[in-house]
Amino acid sequence: IERMQSDGALALNLYENDGRLRFKLFSLDQEIALSDALPMLENLGMKVLTENPYSMQLDGRRVVIQDFALQPAIAGIRAEHIKLGFENAFAAIWAGKSENDGFNTLVTLAELSWRRVSILRAYAKYLLQVGVPFSQSYMEDTLQRYPAVARILVGLFDARFDPELSSSNFRVRQAGERQAMNAGIQGLAADIFKVALVRIETALEEAAMDSRLILQVHDEVLLDVPPAERDAAADLVVKAMSGAVE
């Protein structure tokens, strides 16, 4: 309450109650309009199920409490994993420090801070300026489907531009970047690998698994695999690769 009185900021609390996500907004004198709050929460990867407003008098001021019941875009998201990033992102959007768009879903899905999400947003806007054929919403949807790729891209940004990295570490990472971008597989081996990639994607879809193929570098593949599917996904990949050779 003292902080709200001093700088007019919101007080926020993302928590769990009976296994469900809830989000409380504390504001002074007047509540936040649902037409303002809902788009912000939805762009942070949440569906608003209910909203219960309360108010109380404290030190001569009216304190408004809005309690939202939330449903995340994907199952299994825990408040303890995203609490700080989610609250900071909502506050930044409300204060006008961050844009309110679909990139903010990565705060929840990829567990990125709003500042790191802004790196991906800046890249997307640059690509739009140079005339790529993909819309911003298309790029947002793609990263939402593959949040691990979003984390990789931010990591690549750090590897290239973080001044705290030592020169030796930077050279190692730069060599890895060149290998990832330039290495290729030629001839028959390339054809076999392409068949294997198709077989892996098809097998994952047919098995109705949450695991996803997200990146191919040279003769290696990177998958985003939930812990519960680790063994099953490994068996599936081995069978798909063996079948491609046959």
- Separation CA 87–CA 180 (nearest Å): 36
pTM (predicted TM-score) = 0.66
Question: What's the pLDDT tens digit per position in 36-79?
Answer: 999 999 999 999 999 999 888 877 778 889 999 999 988 888 89
The residue type at 229: E
Average pLDDT in the 106-114 region? Answer: 94
Supply 136's token pair.
């911003």
Average pLDDT in the 130-151 region? Answer: 90
Q: Are 219 and 193 in contact (CB under 8 A)?
A: yes
Question: What's the pLDDT tens digit per position in 228-243?
Answer: 888 888 888 888 777 6
CA 38 centroid distance within chain: 19
User: What confidence score (pLDDT) does residue 102 get?
Assistant: 96
Neighbours of 47 (CB within 10 A): 12
Residue 190: φ, ψ to 5°: -65, -40
User: What confidence score (pLDDT) does residue 121 get?
Assistant: 96
User: What confidence score (pLDDT) does residue 36 get?
Assistant: 93
Question: What's the pLDDT tens digit per position in 165-221?
Answer: 545 555 555 555 554 444 333 444 555 666 777 778 888 888 888 887 766 555 566
For 206, the 3-state DSSP assignment is helix
Cα–Cα distance list, 215 to 19, 47, 150, 219, 220 (Å)? 33, 29, 11, 11, 9
> What are the contacts of 218-226 at 24+ separation with CB within 8 A?
218/179, 218/180, 218/183, 218/184, 218/185, 219/185, 219/189, 219/193, 221/197, 222/148, 224/146, 224/147, 224/148, 226/76
